[in-house]
Amino acid sequence: MKANTKDFHYEIEPKDCVEGMRAMTERSVDVVVTSPPYNLGIKYGNYNDTRTRNEYLDWSRQWAREVKTVLREEGSFFLNLGGCPSNPLIPHELLVTLKQDVGFVLQNTFHWIKSITILTKDGQQISAGHYKPLHSHRFVNDCHEYIFHLTKHGRTEIDRLSLGVPYSDKSNIARWSHTKGRDLRCRGNNWFIPYKTIVNRAKERPHPATFPPELAENCIKIHGCTPESVVLDPFVGIGHSAIAARKCGIRKFYGFDIDPDYVRIARSAWTTGTTEAGWFPLADS
């Protein structure tokens, strides 16, 4: 399906991502942002998430090599991965595999904070965000995931201030020459992006393992994308990366998923700017 408007060309296809990427032009993609299955036994519609460790890593090598082939020399590959308390090494094992066997370089590591408790300046303790509660005598609640920023050489320039935040101490604006008088500093590598509150998961979030569009939006922005940039999500799911790309004004996007039901929802999400239940409003750039 080719969803074309006057300014946008988005292709979201129900096919295996290895097959889909092999049909693409080499070095044609500026940013890849994706979240593959974590091999944690999640119940997807058309995918078995219970492979052996070696099977999972072998399969990951296959699709990661195709990602590297379609990525431009100065492109960015943002890989969202999470583990679980009983199997915390999965993200790191995959990361090492992509470095040693595929040749990617880890340039930055971002932490997607889903829930956090902080102490305010007046001494008040507040909690924000959502997490899946864990009832255990051995483990604590898992409130974060990784976004590994992988590149081909480790020298890809990024737009640090695209996600910039104001200085809390305004005297820093004049103190540091690099500010150039702007009240804006690098946000750093911790991204607090909570899930939206929902009432009916089956209707409002019809996928067992999604990331919020804001996460993909951060990735696209910090790479320094322009409307002419090309974005790819090999595991597009229900289309949150496509929504993020359109919010960033990206005119060309490719996405693949083996589940036709997810693809149907993703196409609708991109066309209307929302999921079927209207979870994420879309503001065109």
Spatial distance between the Cα atoms of 41 and 49, rounded to a whole number of angstroms: 5
- Decide: pTM greater than 0.75: yes
Q: Which residue has 């044609």 as its token pair? A: 28
Q: What is the pLDDT of residues 19-45, one digit of tens each?
A: 999 999 999 999 999 999 877 656 656
- The structure tokens listed for 229 are 């940039």
Spatial distance between the Cα atoms of 82 and 110, rounded to a whole number of angstroms: 12
Domain ranges of the chain: 2-272
Q: What is the pLDDT of residues 192-210, one digit of tens each?
A: 998 775 444 444 455 545 7
- Is 2-272 in CATH node 3.40.50.150? yes
